[in-house]
Structure 1
Amino acid sequence: MAEFESIATLDGSGSFDAYVARPDGTPKAAIIIIQEIFGVNEGIRRKCDAWAAAGYLAYAPDLFWRLRPHIELDADVPEELQEAFGLFGQFDQDAGIADIEATIKAARADMGGGKVGLVGYCLGGRLAFMSACRTDGDAFVGYYGVGIDGLLNEQHAIGKPVLLHIPTADGFVPAETQKAMHEGLSDNRHVTLYDYEGLDHGFAAEMGARRNEEAATLADGRTAAFFAEHLA
């Protein structure tokens, strides 16, 4: 069973929708899927459905709701890709983190308590890292997160496990940024980084031209094992 449900903002000033997919029976835990710059599109909803099929309660909050609710864009359509870049430039990331925190609270309340993991892609990968520094989630995964080198001064606040997937030929995360991430996080016992040699941004997209089936399967398997360990 899956549908959009309303979540109140932390300050009570409004509400936003999240796509929610529920497992059969009692959830193992909850997982929040954090969107790319393309909104809560079919690919993100499919990821939610897959986590629900694996026994988790899955939420995907519509983080662009302040700009335009329920936007869905396709990375393979040039005009929509440019539109997504424009939305990224307008997006208030601090407000997004507050909405993620509200989603964590909603998921915990939905389960009557329990652990919550977060997994994000692209912009969502960045927000997953920010969430590890700023929220009370229980485990965090970022796929090809952008600009994480500029967030390293927050890593002292990380107290829960973090996993980062890094494609080495990422057109949006250059080699010097990847180096800064590896060097800057090397002494942080909470953080694990995996490199994917020769792969580009978006390799684990659920659908479309960016997907690399072999690498996506490998990364998703690592993510599943990570959550199985840390959300148990």
Structure 2
Amino acid sequence: MSDTSNGQVSIQSRDDAGPFNAYVARPDAATKAAIIVIQEIFGVNKGIRQKCDKLAAEGYLAVAPDLFWRLEPGIELDPDVEQEFQKALEHMNAFDQDAGIKDIQATIDHIRKAESVAKVGAVGYCLGGRLAYMTAARTDVDASVGYYGVGIDGLLREKEAIAKPLMLHIAREDGFVDKDTQAKMHKGLDDQPKVTLHDYEGVDHGFATEIGERRDEEAAQLADKRTSEFFARHLTG
């Protein structure tokens, strides 16, 4: 069921386990296309909603599904609070990523049917960066972007299934993705014609977060500019 303003919508899961909620931000003018914002391990929190709002200001219908709904619906955590950070790690370890990808596909289907928006992209951060890669390989999304995705080196066998454009932003000083892993990503993906990788020197995981201590303004601005140009080219061009 679709809403007519910013807020929550309900999306039916593909396995009929139940509906789940998603935050939706709508553009004031005509919709260019839609972009799914894939959460970090902290849930659909203020920072993720702010990502949606910024995309809506650019003319996109932005939708952030609550991918942790099977664990704890509506979870919102602050990465700068240690207790909440530890809880986020627990949720990440318990999270069924395969089910999450199916929920992302359900979100794509919802957008195309209920919102009547044909072109759908996806952008994800942290865990969402990994899921953005999986989304590119396993769904019919039109274009995807992943920021500092974790464990992508273990998914390189899926690269041949990537049929639509994918961009990955890599933090060179990422505490969760070491230099050897980054090298494996480049070795495995640099020759994949649909994939583009960008490295950001001197920055750590989470550099493009909207709020909090992890943000690096210069790197975030550059990555977001590249993302904006990427979606303009592949979703509206």
Give the alignment partner of residue 27 of structure 1, picking from 7, 28, 31: 31
Aligned partners of 1:56, 1:198: CA distance in 2, in Å?
Answer: 31
Could you report, residue by residue, the CA deviation over 1:48-89 in whole angstroms, capped at 9, with x for unpaired residues?
011111100000000000100000000100111111011100
Q: Which residue of 2 aligns with 1:139?
A: 143
1:114-153 alignment to 2 at 5 Å?
Answer: 114-153=118-157
Report deviation, 1:165. 0.2
Give unmatched runs, 5+ long, in structure 1: none
Q: Which residue of 1 aligns with 2:171?
A: 167
Q: Which residue of 2 aligns with 1:69?
A: 73
Aligned partners of 2:59, 2:198: CA distance in 1, in Å?
Answer: 25
1:206 to 2:210 alignment: yes
1:226 to 2:227 alignment: no
Aligned partners of 1:2, 1:36: CA distance in 2, in Å?
Answer: 21
Could you report, residue by residue, the CA deviation over 1:159-183 in whole angstroms, capped at 9, with x for unpaired residues?
0000000010000001110000000
Report deviation, 1:131. 0.5
Q: What secondary structure does 2:188 align onto?
A: helix
Q: Which residue of 2 aligns with 1:53?
A: 57
Give unmatched runs, 5+ long, in structure 2: none
Q: What secondary structure does 1:28 align onto?
A: coil
Report deviation, 1:199. 0.5
Report deviation, 1:94. 0.3
Q: Which residue of 2 aligns with 1:178?
A: 182
Instruction: Name the amino acid aligned to 1:30.
Output: A
Q: Which residue of 2 aligns with 1:109?
A: 113
Contact 2:34 2:117 in 1 (8 A): no
Give the alignment partner of residue 219 of structure 2, picking from 205, 210, 215: 215
Q: Which residue of 2 aligns with 1:97?
A: 101
Instruction: Name the amino acid aligned to 2:9.
Output: E
Could you report, residue by residue, the CA deviation over 1:176-227 in whole angstroms, capped at 9, with x for unpaired residues?
1000000000210000000000110000000000001111011000000000
Contact 2:77 2:88 in 1 (8 A): yes
Q: RMSD in angstroms over aligned alpha carbons? A: 0.8
Q: What TM-score, normalized to structure 2?
A: 0.96
Report deviation, 1:4. 1.1
Deviating beyond 2 angstroms after TM superposition, the runs of 4 or more aligned structure 1 residues are: none
Report deviation, 1:26. 2.3
Aligned partners of 1:139, 1:172: CA distance in 2, in Å?
Answer: 25
Instruction: Name the amino acid aligned to 1:219.
Output: A
* Count of residues in correspondence between the two structures: 232
Contact 1:27 1:111 in 2 (8 A): no
Contact 2:33 2:117 in 1 (8 A): no
Give the alignment partner of residue 195 of structure 1, picking from 190, 196, 199: 199
Q: What secondary structure does 1:16 align onto?
A: strand
Q: What secondary structure does 1:75 align onto?
A: coil
